[in-house]
Amino acid sequence: MQEARDATRFRDLTLAEFVDRLASSEPVPGGGSAAAVAASFGAALVTMVASLSQDRERYAAHEAMLHDAAAAGRALAARFLDLADADARAYGAYAAALKQPRDTDAERATRTAAIGASARAAAEVPLDTLRACLELVVAAERLAGRSNVNASSDVSVAALLADACARAAGANVLINLPATDDPHWAQDTAEIVVQLQAAVEDLALMTREAVGSGRPRDPIPPVDGE
């Protein structure tokens, strides 16, 4: 029964079941999975707002962007849920590495190597979540002022969730870096986290300001070749 429970994807749980799992004394799911699940809500809101705006004369000039946003939100929502599962698996492997025996020199060496490798994996997953948060806030910013005004607050919520989850994912990256087996990679990764979080924060602020202004925005110019 325990194996069946552990094999369940978070997407297959009810919301209440996931919250119960999160509130338990088990180490997973933890903050990384919570951040990814919360970000999936933001992605779903992007799709909702785009869908509420499509095929409406008022937003006809934005139809191509709305189509792309709806698809992007749907894909990101699924991606975030996959990342929630991946985060739990990665941290589970790290926790298992910490429990490896260390009575002999050989065992200590094996344990140290396992900790380093699993810590890196445990950092890489929330780093992917952080990158996906940037994609999410890009989609939200594009919708601001170009989508159904009755759902404008939902665009702001999507941006706020992207920002909060980017901060959370970044924290989960940074906490694992000291245990990784590659200090140069750890330093580079820490710098990437700062850059990505700043980019997400800036776009989230731009989104909220665009929504708050209440002014419609011009269509996004097509990319050359489109």
Number of domains in the chain: 1
Does the residue 186 lie in any domain? Answer: yes
Does the residue 191 lie in any domain? Answer: yes
Give the model confidence (pLDDT) of 55-112 as tens digits: 999 999 999 999 999 999 999 999 999 999 999 999 999 999 999 999 999 999 999 9
Residue 224 has a pLDDT of: 61
pLDDT band for position 1 (cuts 50, 70, 90): very low
pLDDT band for position 52 (cuts 50, 70, 90): very high
Residue 101 has a pLDDT of: 95
Does the residue 193 lie in any domain? Answer: yes
Give the model confidence (pLDDT) of 180-217 as tens digits: 989 999 999 999 999 999 999 999 999 999 999 999 99
CATH number for the domain spanning 46: value is 1.20.120.680
Does the residue 13 lie in any domain? Answer: no
What is the SS3 assignment for 144? coil
Does the residue 19 lie in any domain? Answer: no
191-194 contacts, C-beta under 8 A, 24 or more apart: 192/127, 193/127, 193/130, 194/170
Q: What is the residue range of 61's domain?
A: 29-213
Does the residue 223 lie in any domain? Answer: no
